[in-house]
Each structure stands twice: as C-alpha cells, then as structure tokens.
C-alpha cells in the first residue's frame, strides 16, 4: 500500500465491509425458504405471501433511486446505517404481523419499510466502493454485490435453521431475532462507508485519456438528461428482463423443487421437502453471488453489452430445456445457472453505468436503473405465483415459456446497442 493510500486508510476496508453489509441485506433472497411455512401456518395463498417479497423488492428499487440522488447530500455512512435500521425494523414488524395474522401489516412492515432499508443499504456500498477502485470497476462491483447473492445461503442454511431450532419452529420469534441481528450488524458495517478524498487516485493508476470536447459535453450533462436518454431506457429494459426471469425462481424455487420431489415420492414429509428446498436455496444463492463476481470480471474482458447478450441468450435455452426436463437434479442444476446469470446482471450493470455515464453521475443513474429491480421484483414473482395458483400441475410449463419470452425481448434490445456506440457518445 502506498503512502498516499495509507494516508486515507486501506481502500480495501470499504468493499470488504460493503460485502458484509450486502450479505445481511441479501437474506431477503431466502424468501422462498419461508414461503410455504408462512402459507401453512397462516392459511394465506402463494400469491398473497409472494406479495410480501414483491413489495420489498419494489421499494428496494424505489428507495435505491432516492438514495442515489441523495447520496452526495447525506453521505454513504448515514444512508447505510439508516438502511440497516429500516431493514431490521422490517423483520420485527413481520413478527408483529404474524402475531396479529395481519397481511396488510406484513406488506407495510417487511414490504415497504424493510424494502426501503434494502434500497438505501444496497446502493451505498456499490456506489462508494467503485470510487475507490477506478482501476477495477467490474471486479470490485462484482465483489460487493456478490455479498447480496450470498445472503440467501447464510439465511437458509445458517440463520433460519438455527433460529427455528432455538425457537422450536416459532416463525414470529425467528423473524424477531433476525431483525435484532440486522439492527446490530448492518449499521456496524455501514459505519465504514466513506468516500475517497476529492481527486484521489490509487497509486500507479492513470485515468484513460478522454477527448476534451467530449469531456466538456459530459460535464454539462445532468442526471435528468442521462435518465431520459435512449441509452438509459434500453439498459433499463435489458436489466428488467434479466431480473424478471431470475425472480421467477428466487421467490418460488423451493416450492417448485418440492412439487417435483412430491411427484417422484409422495411419501416425503413436509420437513424433508423443506430441507431439500432450503438446500436448493443455499446452492443457488452461492451461484447468484458468484455470478456477480464472475460476470463482472468477464465484462471487463469482453465488454459490457456482449456480456449481457450471453447472459440473456443462454438463459433462453435453459428456460426452454426446463419445459421438457423434470428430473429434480437437472432442474436444480439449470436453476443454478439461471441464478448465476441473474447475479451476473447485477455484477455487470454498475460498471456498465459507470462506463457509459461516468463516475460523476453514477450514483444517481445507477440508483434509478435499480427501479428495474422494483418492476422485475413484482413481475417475475407474481407471474410465477399467479400461474402456480391457477394452473396447478401445468404451471411450470407456462412459467418457463413466459420467462423465455421475457428474456428474448431483452436479447433483441441487447442487439440494438453496442459498447463502441456508447464509447463514441460518452467517451
């Protein structure tokens, strides 16, 4: 570490603590672990329970957009700590909702309040870490958002099973203890979030040469101009397509696998099925996390748009294959790949936004592009839940065909743009 880096502290502390923060927030991705348990204990339908998760993801995107705008005003530390407090409160309000058997309180508490905490917490370490690593944009953003993908692994295989054992399968108390855990750990990790000093660059790094005329034009570009541009709209829709497809599995992968297993062995009891579902959630969360890290690095090598083309095209083939392949192991493997690509979108998009719109506008533009997460968080899970409630045994086929169609829409858009065109417009 150079003397200059030493003067401002080790820059690696920011992404490391940001990754820990993201792991805590990413526990929301273990929702499918709780889906059937909540339905069983309270008699609510797939669609009703799935709305809790969908609302949380919706407000994640909305609050991330607000957080991106206000990050310069309040600073990363305040937003990260506030996000942690709100997310922890969401779990505790979820406990109260179950105690009162109140879906509206669940929607408000875990969905709206917890979701706002997710958004404020999510956007902060991503936008902050990339400022410390202009020399490793794809790698570092992939590393940080990898934490969010790994959150489901921690929740489904460590936190939830441990707390359910301690509480004798008491769901409300499990939510309470989880909330208290979040109230402590997320603000602690968030307290390490800080921006580098103005004009700071890592030792040995020279920014790429930029055409003076292009730089002058870029410096005049406002966040509003960027968000209303055609480039932003195309990126938003590509991101939305990738998210919607992945969300179909994140919210319902455990119930889907349990249904397949029941068809093969009707003697399996609910605990055995739940354990199998939890294992799938844990494994796919690992792929979700690794995908963010892996594809973010790949995009540094082959370009941002080509990476998205590969993500979308390969998933179309997987969704088509899922229509015909019903073996539990093959199903699990293919879902792992979908989650690898789902995570890849999140690993690639921050560096894409930074490359296209510049680091000055990155927090605002990236915050707004996360509204695609809001939309995908509603569309993907709700399509899967509605189809499951209405079509019974035929539901998987309809779900996979719909997913393939959404991905195909995104792939078409991905061929309307390219990195070179972006570079010329925003060098």
Report the length, in residues, of the chain. Answer: 427
239 or 399, which is more confident: 239
* pLDDT of res. 426: 41
Longest dimension (CA), the chain: 71
* pLDDT of res. 47: 86
Q: Where are the alpha helices (DSSP H) in 269-394?
A: 270-302, 304-324, 328-357, 362-369, 371-391
Phi-psi sector, 269: left (phi>0), alpha (psi -120 to 50), beta? beta
Strand, coil or helix: 210:
coil
Strand, coil or helix: 340:
helix
**Rounded-to-integer distance, Cα 111 and Cα 4, Å:** 44
Mean pLDDT, the chain, whole residue set? 85
Q: What is the pLDDT of residues 346-379, one digit of tens each?
A: 888 887 887 777 777 777 888 788 889 889 988 9
Structure tokens at 13: 């502390």
Q: Are 320 and 400 in contact (CB under 8 A)?
A: yes
* pLDDT of res. 104: 96
Predicted confidence band at 213 (pLDDT cuts at 50, 70, 90)?
Answer: very low
Residue 204 maps to a domain:
no
The overall pTM is greater than 0.85: no
**Rounded-to-integer distance, Cα 160 and Cα 152, Å:** 10
* pLDDT of res. 355: 74
Residue 208 maps to a domain:
no
**Rounded-to-integer distance, Cα 268 and Cα 203, Å:** 59
Predicted confidence band at 215 (pLDDT cuts at 50, 70, 90)?
Answer: low
Q: Are 358 and 52 in contact (CB under 8 A)?
A: no
* pLDDT of res. 9: 62
CATH number, domain with residue 409: 1.20.1250.20
Residue 202 maps to a domain:
no
Residue 203 maps to a domain:
no
pLDDT of 29 strictly over 80: yes
* pLDDT of res. 285: 81
* pLDDT of res. 208: 65
Q: What is the pLDDT of residues 165-178, one digit of tens each?
A: 999 999 999 999 99
* pLDDT of res. 415: 92
Q: What is the pLDDT of residues 377-400, one digit of tens each?
A: 889 888 888 888 888 777 788 888
pLDDT of 427 strictly over 80: no
Average pLDDT of span 408-422: 81
Residue 205 maps to a domain:
no
Q: What is the pLDDT of residues 222-233, one digit of tens each?
A: 777 788 888 899
* pLDDT of res. 5: 46
Instruction: Give Cα separations from 147 to 13, 58, 79, 225, 275 (angstroms).
Output: 15, 20, 18, 32, 23
pLDDT of 267 strictly over 90: no
Q: How many CB atoms lie within 10 A of CB 114?
A: 29
Phi-psi sector, 9: left (phi>0), alpha (psi -120 to 50), beta? left
Predicted confidence band at 313 (pLDDT cuts at 50, 70, 90)?
Answer: very high
Domain with 335 in it: 3-197+213-425
Q: What is the pLDDT of residues 61-109, one digit of tens each?
A: 899 889 888 888 899 999 999 999 999 999 999 999 999 999 999 999 9
Q: Are 373 and 57 in contact (CB under 8 A)?
A: yes
* Total of domains in the chain: 1
Residues 6+ positions from 120 with CB-CB distance below 8 Å: 63, 64, 66, 67, 79, 80, 82, 83, 86
pLDDT of 2 strictly over 50: no
Residues 6+ positions from 333 with CB-CB distance below 8 Å: none
- Pick from 213-217, 288-292, 310-314: least confident: 213-217
3 state SS for 398-420:
HHHHHHHHHHHHHHHHHCCCCHH
Q: What is the pLDDT of residues 121-135, one digit of tens each?
A: 988 998 898 888 887
């Amino acid at each position: 570490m150079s003397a200059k880096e030493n003067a401002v502290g080790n820059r690696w502390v920011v992404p490391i603590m940001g990754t820990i923060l993201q792991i805590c927030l990413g526990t929301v991705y273990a929702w499918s672990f709780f889906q059937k348990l909540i339905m069983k204990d309270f008699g609510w339908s797939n669609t009703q329970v799935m709305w809790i998760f969908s609302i949380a993801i919706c407000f994640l995107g909305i609050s991330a957009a607000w957080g991106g705008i206000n990050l310069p005003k309040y600073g990363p530390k305040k937003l990260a700590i506030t996000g942690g407090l709100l997310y922890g409160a969401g779990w505790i309000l979820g406990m109260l909702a179950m105690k009162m058997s109140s879906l509206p309180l669940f929607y408000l508490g875990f969905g709206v309040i917890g979701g706002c905490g997710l958004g404020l917490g999510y956007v902060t370490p991503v936008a902050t870490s990339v400022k410390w690593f202009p020399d490793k944009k794809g790698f570092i953003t992939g590393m940080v958002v990898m934490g969010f993908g790994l959150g489901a692994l921690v929740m489904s295989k460590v936190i939830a099973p441990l707390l359910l054992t301690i509480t004798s399968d008491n769901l409300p108390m499990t939510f309470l203890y989880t909330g208290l855990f979040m109230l402590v750990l997320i603000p602690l990790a968030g307290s390490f979030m800080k921006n580098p000093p103005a004009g700071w660059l890592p030792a040995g790094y020279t920014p790429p040469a930029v055409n003076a005329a292009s730089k002058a034009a870029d410096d005049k570009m406002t966040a509003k101009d960027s968000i209303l541009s055609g480039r932003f709209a195309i990126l938003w829709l590509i991101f939305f397509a990738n998210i919607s497809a992945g969300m179909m599995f994140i919210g319902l992968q455990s119930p889907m696998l349990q249904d397949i297993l029941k068809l093969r062995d009707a003697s399996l009891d609910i605990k055995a099925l739940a354990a199998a579902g939890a294992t799938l959630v844990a494994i796919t969360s690992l792929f979700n996390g690794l995908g963010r890290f892996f594809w973010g690095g790949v995009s540094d090598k082959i370009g941002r748009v080509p990476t998205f083309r590969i993500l979308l095209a390969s998933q179309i083939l997987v969704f088509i294959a899922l229509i015909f392949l019903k073996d539990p192991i093959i199903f699990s493997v293919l879902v792992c790949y979908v989650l690898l690509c789902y995570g890849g979108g999140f690993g690639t998009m921050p560096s894409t936004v930074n490359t296209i719109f510049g680091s000055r506008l990155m927090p605002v533009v990236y915050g707004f592009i996360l509204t695609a997460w809001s939309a995908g968080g509603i569309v993907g899970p709700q399509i899967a839940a509605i189809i499951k409630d209405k079509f019974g045994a035929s539901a998987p086929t309809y779900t996979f065909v719909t997913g393939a169609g959404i991905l195909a829409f995104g792939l078409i858009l991905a061929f309307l743009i390219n990195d070179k065109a972006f570079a010329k417009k925003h060098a």
